Amino acid sequence: MIEIILASSSKYRRQLLGRICNKFKQLSPNVDESILNNEQPLDYVKRLSTNKANVIARKHPKALVIGSDQCAIFNNQILGKPGTREQAISQLSSFSGQQVTFLTGVCLAEYHTSSSHYFVDTTSVHFKKLTLEKIEEYIEIDCPLDCAGSFKVESCGVFLFDKVVSDDPTALQGLPLIGLAKLFEHLNLDLSDLMNQ
């Protein structure tokens, strides 16, 4: 029986992983998520996903550790979590009628074998034309201040979209389960192993 740890404090990632893994620990890696000077989005999500996994893997060397990070890209800029209602209104207003790209990186690390596996999912979100009234109504209902892009796709955020283009419907929620399942299979862990622990 292998110990699986989710290196994240996110309740959304915990809920997602629970769909394919019956028993795992969740530990916060407490890494600095600041963007480095001139850091490109793909490099940013890879660095944070890998750092999160490795911080926990060093403390739990026999565990299989999952680290993940997501960023939204709009007008070639990395967007963070809004944090405030005003910032959420600003983000969603700028998205009106536009396309926003979300990168979700996942790293699977095993300290005792010095191995790690990484992939990134790219999802494009096409927004409807949004009025200020619609944006304020949405924020009042979902309060998405802790979500990159200022929406919750698993909730009422879908009312903001024209369409979502992705290879993995779970990626936008923060943990691409199709890609993660492929990594588990690569390590000879199948569904019965994960659900019957």
Amino acid at 125: V
Contact indicator for 158, 94 with CB cutoff of 8 Å? no
Backbone φ, ψ for residue 12 (5° rounding)? -70, -45
DSSP letter assigned to residue 36: P
Q: Which of 69, 121, 142, 168 is catalytic?
A: 69
Strand 99-110 and strand 115-127: the pairing is antiparallel
Strand 64-74 and strand 25-27: the pairing is unpaired
Question: What is the spatial distance between Cα 50 and Cα 30, in angstroms, rounded to a whole number?
Answer: 13
Q: Does residue 146 carry a catalytic annotation?
A: no
The residues assigned a catalytic role are 69
